[in-house]
Amino acid sequence: MFSKSKINEPGPKTSDTGPSPSSEAPSPKPATGGEYKPTAPKAKPPASVLSSDLHITGNVKTTGDVQVEGTVEGDIRAHLLTVGEGATIRGEITADDVVINGRIVGRVRGLKVRLTSTARVEGDIIHKTIAIESGAHFEGSVQRQDDPLSSGKGGNATTATATAKVSS
């Protein structure tokens, strides 16, 4: 008896033979020519793990995160370096963030350096901020610098060098 009129409906007018506007859902079309850009940010890759049975002789350099569980004889440069309890590193460490649970023989340079209660460090630590937990063993000097990652001997040291040995 009554029928719905399509005169007042928004959208393009179609004939009765074509599909109605309500039956078609607009679908996003990817850009052509390989120009597709994802909208979600890329997830940060997990840290590279150097396992406990791995022995590396040589330098390690990455812009990512590294977790060392084995032995490294050489310098390490990374964004975040985590030294496991059973790990031993003989060389210079340079990283934005350094968490030491194991043994280091050599210089440590980091914006944030943390020695946990199981840490054993023999060498100098150059840092912007440092935390040393009770029980950590440290023999060497500590120096605060605004830019500890620069290897040059710039005059930006803000405190005097100190020697400390922390144990419980």
Give Cα 118 to chain centroid, integer Å: 22
- Between 154 and 131, where is the model more confident? 131
Are the CB atoms for 66 and 81 separated by under 8 Å?
A: yes
Per the CB < 8 A criterion, the answer to whether 83 and 102 are in contact is yes
Comparing C-alpha atoms, which of 70, 40, 38 is closest to residue 54? 70
What SS3 class is residue 143? Answer: strand
- Write down the pTM of the prediction: 0.66
Cα angle: 114, vertex 117, 119; to 5 degrees: 65
What ranges in the chain are assigned the alpha helix state H? none
The per-residue pLDDT for 150 is: 84
Nearest-CA neighbor of 93 among 151, 46, 54, 133? 151
pLDDT bin (cut points 50, 70, 90) of residue 40 is low
Residue 112's pLDDT band, with cuts at 50, 70 and 90, is: very high
pLDDT at 25 over 80: no
Whether the pLDDT of residue 5 is over 80: the answer is: no
Where is average pLDDT lowest: 30-39, 64-73, 82-91, 119-128? Answer: 30-39
Mean pLDDT lowest for which of 12-21, 130-139, 145-154?
12-21
* Mean pLDDT for all residues in the chain: 80
What's residue 156's pLDDT?
47
Query: Percent of the chain, pLDDT > 70?
Result: 64
Residue spans of the domains in the chain: they are: 48-147
